[in-house]
Amino acid sequence: MFLQQLILYAWYLLSGSFSIETSLPLYDCRVAILCLIYGVFFNNDKSKRIGIYLGFVGSIVALLTPELDKFVFPHYTWISFFVGHTMLLWVSCYIFFVEEIEISFKKYTEVFVFTNILHIAVIIFNSFTKCNYAFLSEPPIFKDVAGRLHPITYIAIMMLMLNFALYLVHSYFMKSRDGKFKIINRKIEN
């Protein structure tokens, strides 16, 4: 993931494609990647937890509803998009299932608070710059439906949906730790 981000930002800068509208690390998945890189390099569990929650939700949503750059396939940004999000999902699963990072309601609450503060900051940034980071100004799909909503209503719906998704991920994580969805350490009987 580190190499993928390094190449992506080098390409942004060297090609002259870096823009305030699309290149900053203010999308949930880019925040997750940065948190996971920091968490792995510095063994910081709080950063890893933020990364796995945002990474699990963000990568699945991104892979199901890809918002690709203006470039035509087979451009590097397309490859980077799919490789980056697939790696993000894989690393999030690895840290949860193999490293067995601590997940509790208190730890989930820390991620919840961080994510909502991040999104409030992104909403403010988007309003001043007319950007669409974290898709808090316009969704990647159903744009005509969202366009009929008042901006505050749209933002509230998006925040509720993300918070609900984070809660679902937390519920899944907790149940998998209780053994109900255990996918590792299974014994194979002949």
- DSSP secondary structure string for all residues of 5-19: HHHHHHHHHHHT---
- What is the predicted pLDDT for the residue at 190? 46
Phi and psi angles of residue 12, each rounded to the nearest 5 degrees, phi first: -55, -50
What is the per-residue pLDDT across 139-190, written as a single tens digit (0 to 9) for each? Answer: 888 888 888 899 899 999 999 999 999 999 888 888 877 665 444 444 445 4
- What is the predicted pLDDT for the residue at 94? 93
Position with higher pLDDT, 136 vs 187: 136
Residue 26 to residue 101: CA distance in whole angstroms:
25
Q: Is residue 142 within 8 Å of residue 157, measured between CB atoms?
A: no
- What is the predicted pLDDT for the residue at 180? 52
Residue 11: band (very low, low, confident or very high) from pLDDT cuts 50, 70, 90 = confident
What is the per-residue pLDDT across 88-135, written as a single tens digit (0 to 9) for each? Answer: 999 999 998 889 888 888 999 999 999 999 999 999 999 999 999 999
Query: Count of CB atoms within 10 A of residue 30's CB?
Result: 21
Given a cut of 90, is residue 74 above it in pLDDT? Answer: no
At CA 157, angle to CA 153 and CA 161, rounded to 5? 170
pTM of the predicted protein model:
0.85
Query: Count of CB atoms within 10 A of residue 97's CB?
Result: 16
Position with higher pLDDT, 124 vs 69: 124
The whole-number average pLDDT for the span 17-28 is 90
- What is the predicted pLDDT for the residue at 184? 46
Distances (CA, A) of 161 to 23, 155, 181: 24, 10, 24
Sign of CA dihedral 156, 50, 127, 143: negative
Query: Count of CB atoms within 10 A of residue 157's CB?
Result: 13
